[in-house]
Amino acid sequence: MPQRVALELAVQDPAGAVIAADVGARRVELCSALGATGGITPSAALVEAVVEAAAVVPSSDAAPILEVHVLVRPRPGGFVYSPAEIDLMLREVTLAGDAGVDGVVLGALTRSGTVDEARMRDLIAAADDAEVTFHRALDVVADPLAALDTLAELGVARVLTSGGAARAGAGLDRLAALVERSAELGIEIMAGGGVTPADIPALLGTGVDAVHLSAKRSVADAGGPGGGGDAGYEVTDPELARAAAVALGLPAAT
């Protein structure tokens, strides 16, 4: 029987992790400022709180204990990092490991648009036993198939990619090509980037190992001139999360 495609939700708080577990997600990617920046590293206290929330969720044969993977990205913008930024990332990876996470999500590139192998080796070594996912920095490399080869050699568990498009639903051809190459390499391909439940059937058609989405909605809560104006904040929407799980054919934990 073919292995079921995994669901990963990008969440920003413990409540989001509980929702992910409720709908049968395999794991969460924990980040902060998702809508405003594409995601940056969450605080150490938030990491601890989400690990604790995931640990008390009951597991079943259909829905194992939720994995917590933490985004390690020190700032918005590109993925060419200074020595000081890499040092900060190494510290964040170590703190995440100390908090008991299952994995870290990160990426570093050279100015020529290739995987920064030296810095990735250091970050992977700092992750120790935690899985490493290479994030959507893959979508801006000069040669994504060559990058996939490099990442597999480095020991990266999976890559998160939209297939180089603004939305994964528009990157199907490249996703299929990455899946084909990954079969020779033993690295997982996870489709993500603007994914909605309606996109999932087409993504499944490419053969990806997992689908990643935020399933978020905005809550109106004006902070005034000193609190970000009228931007409000984001939460995980249980209905969107469940719709994604249903599209993937996942049995819910509750």
Q: Averaged in consecutive runs of 10 residues, what is the pLDDT profile of the chain (254 residues)?
A: 81 96 95 94 97 77 78 98 98 97 98 97 97 97 97 98 97 98 96 97 97 91 67 90 95 61
Residue 137 is which amino acid?
A
Give residue 61's pLDDT: 53
Q: How far is CA 240 from the centre of its chain?
A: 17
The residues that bridge with 105 in the sheet, in sequence order, are 71, 133
* Token pair 């990266």 in the structure block, residue: 156
| DSSP class of 110 | -
Residue 221: predicted pLDDT: 76
The pTM of this model reads 0.93
